[in-house]
Every structure is written in C-alpha cells, then in structure tokens.
Amino acid sequence: MRKMAALLIALMVLVMALPMTGIAEGAIDTSEHVKIVYLVTGDKPTNRTDEVLAKINELLTEKINAELEFRWIEWTDWQTQYNLALATQSGDIDLIGTATDWLDAWPNSQKGAFLPLSEDMLKTYAPKTWESVSEAHWELCKYNGEIYLMPEDNYAQWTNHGFMYRGDWAREAGLENGVHSWADLGVYFQYIKDNKDGVIPWDANGNGSSYSPQMAGGWQASHTGNIAIEGFPVSIFYGNSKDDPYTLSRYYLEGDELINFAKEMKKWADAGFWRADVLNYTGDVAAEMEEGQTGAHQHHTQTWTGERTTMERKQPGSDLGFFWFGEEANNLIALNITHGAMAVAAQSKHPERALMVYDLMRNDPEIYHLMQYGFEGEMYTVDENGLFSRPEGFEDGTDGVSFNFWWGRNDGLEYRNAELDWDAIQKLYETYDSVKIDYPYGQYIYDNSMVGVFMDNLSNVYNTYMPRIVFGMNDDPEAIVAEFRQALQDAGIETVMAEVQSQMDAVYKK
C-alpha cells in the first residue's frame, strides 16, 4: 500500500508539474477543427452523458480545437460488432478502447487494426501519458518492437476470481475466520445444504462458459504454483511457477491434481451443492444471493467490493467475504497492465489529434472528473478525505454519466466511493499486496499463425469436457479426466505446447 501511495504522490507532482514543462504552444498545428471518434463498448447511456460530453467538447475545442464523439458497441453481440468495426474501419474511428484479456488487443494488433505509435508521436502529442508510463511498462505494450497500446497502468484494481460467501453463515458453520480454502468452501456449502432450507449452496448458472476456466484455474492456483498465461483462446497454458515461469506446465496433461479437482467437484455435485441441471441453468446468481436464496457467488474481487455493500443493505449482517483462488498457496498474480488500454485506429485520419484528446482524457483533472463523475456539486460531492458521494435519490441510469473509460483510469485523479466498505477492501488489498507477483509474461504475445488449426480444436475439446469436470457431471471423475487428456492429445496438444514453448523461449531465453 505504501508503494502505491508513493506512486500516487509522485504522479500528483508530475501532473501538476507537467503543464509548465509541456511542449511549447504553437508547435502543433491545431487550426483545423476535428472530430475524434471514440470506439467504446457499452450501451448508449440514457443519463446525462450527453450534457457532460458537450461541456467536455467545449474544453477540448478550447484547448486543442477538437471534439469527442462516441461510437458505442452495444452489449448485444458485442464481440462480433467490435471486431467488425475494427476489421472494416475506413477512417471512421480514431480512438479504440481495448484490452489484452477481454478485447483481443494482441490478435487485433497482429491483424493490423491499430496504428503503431512511435516514441516521437507519443512524446509530442501525448506527453503526459508518455511521462507517466514507465519505460518498463511501455515495453509491455510493444508488438514487433512497436508500441500499439497505451496502458491503464496507474489504476489499482483486482480482477482475480474467487468465491463470495456470507460471513455470518460461515461462522455458523464453525468457520470462525471465514472461508479461506477449497476445503473450507466444502464445509460452508455442506452447512448450507444441511441447515438452510430451500437455499442452494451455490446456484451456479452453468449455462455460461466462463465458469470453466475460472473454476478449473482456481483450483489449480490454490493447489499448484502455476501461473496463467494470457492471450490464448483456451485456458490451458500455464507457466510452472514463479521460480520457473517460462517452462510450460503439464498440469492438464498429467499429474493427479486435475483428477483430485474432478473428484472433489463430483463429490460436491452429488452432495447437491448446485442444482442437478446446472449446465442449462441461466439464472442470476448475484440476485439470488441478495435475496438469500443462495450462499455464494463466483466472481472477482472488483465485483465483491460493490456486492459487499449491496449485501449489507439487502441481507443485513451478511458480512460478505471473499475467498480468492490461490489463497492456500499464496499464488496471486497482479493484474496485467493491459487489462485496459487505448489504441489509435490504423486508418485514423487524425492520429495526432486523437493522441492529444486521449492525453487530456487521461490526465486533465477537469476533463477526467467530468468524465468519471459528472458535474461537481450537482452530481457528486467530494469530502475532505477524497471520498465522493452522490446526492440523495441519485440514479446512475438517469442522473449519472457513463463514458465507459476503462482504458486509462488514473489513480492520481480518482475519488473513492464513500459507499464502499474501505476497511474491508483495504484489508484484502493489503493481503494481496503482500503475496502478489507481477504478471511475468507481459512481453510474450502468442502468435496464432503456426498452430491456429490445432488451437481451435483444443478450444472445442476444452469446452466439451471442462464443464462436465467442473460441475461433476460425470459418472467417474478419473475416467473423464483421462478421456479429456486423450482428446487433448488427439487434438494436437503436444504440437501446440512445443510451438508455444519455442515462442516463449524466443522472448525470454535469448
């Protein structure tokens, strides 16, 4: 935490100092008024975003003679829509919100969707951003030696997964300190099953595909030192451990831990910790938890920070806790800095001005606060501790502002939400900070061109078997793991592993 505070202060100083040392006025020709189109995922807001945008555009016009326009990629079918917009761009978009983990930033860089950003460009047109991102971090934004992304590297957030559980029920179950391991979780679930009538311990909506990598990877993090490598279409690529990160783990191919996982989940399934037809259930687990119909929700830390407050309101005394995957083994990787990043569109007609706009969005306090919180006084107030609160009766859906700016949030300018339970959050974050290691694979970008065909088949094999292992939907856990491993072999896992290993060696074992 101290490190972060130091960073924060350093940044504040920087931000304050920069306007004076900034590039000389007149060096950049801004005589032409341009419109910068910002491609962003999210539904078009029905709140006061447009009003705020108008104000921001006034400021932008004044400062750099440009204005910002949204191009929303709505959540309906967003993956297709987003990739289609990138693939068919013709100068109609300038700034693109992206991410290496959930918006395929690297494959899109490889496919030529983004403009490579030279150091000169960044220094000239996005000087504050250039300064605030360390050289080491810029290194992580390079593909083939060129910078493609501007990372959100100064924003503390944790999106590591785990289980939210009710502290009150955990204590009733005899877990005085709460749930801190998969074994505890089993005890907790069993207690609910036996004592809370009509409550399903974890009413998972197994219809979604996201549980497979989270659960399987969660067990793996808790029982091995393996470290997940991002950017693969299938979540079976892990490094051995923090001491030997650049050798691929063979966890999914051999060894007993996966079998143990399958056996345990089979036990849980048979004990009725989730419904029998979990794989086709599409319900809303979080809402059920809020209504006291289920005892757990599997998601990440960031969700927990908000959910804890909600639960306290809806189930007073519930004391929502968070068991994070990897807790038993102290196996925790800090969020990759490119979990959110901004890129410039390859076909942008005004890349310089786009960079200038981004530099202001990210670093100009007035614009940043407007974007993130709206009009001060009217839409929010900040107290002496730097906590912000909304006025009485404030509805985000109608009164708020949504820029969905997840590509350059800046702790130097953020206010904390007064509603959240910062004591509890702080405590967890401190634990995290004491055990975390930095993401070790920032410089490795998987190249799909050699083994893409095999990868697609592996993806299918994984999505076929993993849900059945995760939810214990099988007769014989050992047999299904063996079958899964055989199918991986048949789909060419060894070829792919060899290729990935050699790609990795090329980066890290020079």
Partner 1 sequence: MSQSQHVMHTTKIRKDPTQITMNVITYVLVTIFCICCILPFWMIIASSFSTEEAIRRSGFTLWPTDVSTYSYYLLFRSPDQMIGAYIVTISLAAIGTAIGLFIISMTGYALQRRDFPFRNGIMFYIYFTSLFSAGLVPFYLLMVQTLNLRDNYLAILLPLLMSPWLIVLMKNFVKAIPHEITESGKIDGAGDFKIFYALILPSLKPALATIGLFLALSYWNEWYYSSLFLTTKVEYRPLQFHLYNVINKVASLKNSVAGSNVVITDLPGETLKMATAVVATGPIILLYPFVQKYFVAGLTVGAVKG
Partner 2 sequence: MWFFACSSEQNHVQGVDSLAKSKKASSVVTYRRPSLGKVLWQNKTLILMCLPAIVFFFVFSYMPMPGAYIAFTNFQYNKGIFDSPFVGLRNFQFLFQSGQLTLLLRNTVLYNLAFIILGNVLQLFFAIMLNEVQAKTYKKVSQSVMFLPYFISDVLVALLVYNLLNYDYGFISHLVRSLGGEMPKVYQNANAWPFIIVLVNLWKSTGYGTVVYFAAITGMDSSMMEAAQIDGANAWQRIRYITLPTLKPTVIILFLFAIGGILKGNFGLFYNLVGNNSMLFKTTDIIETYVYRSMMNSFNFSQSSAVGLFQSVVGFFIVLGANAFVKHLDPDYALF
Residues lying near partner 1 in the complex (CB under 8 A): 41-44, 46, 70-72, 74-78, 80-81, 84, 87-88, 90, 101-102, 159, 205, 207-210, 282-284, 287-288, 291, 293, 299-300, 302-303, 306, 310, 340, 404, 406
CB 210 within 8 A of CB 170: no
Please count the residues of the chain.
Answer: 510
What DSSP designation does 137 have? H
Distance CA 38, CA 76 (A): 19
Q: Which does 89 bind (CB under 5 to 8 A by kind): partner 1, partner 2, none?
A: partner 2
- Using CB under 8 A as the binding rule, whether residue 287 contacts partner 2 is answered as no
* 3-class secondary structure per residue, 278-294: HHHCCCCHHHHHHCCCE
Identity of the residue, 108 or 129, whose beta carbon is nearer to partner 2 in the bound complex: 108
Contact segment (CB under 8 A) with partner 2 among 52-60, 106-114, 241-249, 364-372 equals: 106-114
CB 251 → partner 1: shortest distance, Å? 22
The residues near 471 (Cβ < 8 Å, ≥ 6 apart) are 204, 206, 211, 265, 269, 274, 278, 279
**Of 156, 253, 259, 279, which lies in the binding site for partner 2, with binding defined by CB under 8 A?**
279
- Using CB under 8 A as the binding rule, whether residue 452 contacts partner 2 is answered as yes
- Using CB under 8 A as the binding rule, whether residue 468 contacts partner 2 is answered as yes
**Of 66, 192, 346, 445, which lies in the binding site for partner 2, with binding defined by CB under 8 A?**
346
CB 498 → partner 1: shortest distance, Å? 28
Q: Which does 490 bind (CB under 5 to 8 A by kind): partner 2, partner 1, none?
A: partner 2
Identity of the residue, 71 or 180, whose beta carbon is nearer to partner 1 in the bound complex: 71
Distance CA 148, CA 139 (A): 10
Identity of the residue, 464 or 502, whose beta carbon is nearer to partner 2 in the bound complex: 464
CB 288 → partner 2: shortest distance, Å? 13
Residue 211: HSE in the Cβ half-sphere, 13 Å Cα cutoff: 26
Tell the residue number behind the tokens 């036990």, with chain if given.
267
**Of 61, 134, 398, 464, which lies in the binding site for partner 2, with binding defined by CB under 8 A?**
464
CB 446 within 8 A of CB 232: yes
Tell the residue number behind the tokens 């998969």, with chain if given.
182
The residues near 344 (Cβ < 8 Å, ≥ 6 apart) are 94, 95, 96, 114, 115, 117, 351, 354, 355
CB 340 within 8 A of CB 404: no
CB 26 → partner 1: shortest distance, Å? 35
Interface with partner 2 (CB under 8 A): 79-80, 83, 86-87, 89, 104, 107-108, 111-113, 206-209, 212, 232-234, 275-277, 279-282, 346-347, 448-449, 452-457, 459-460, 463-465, 467-468, 473, 490-492
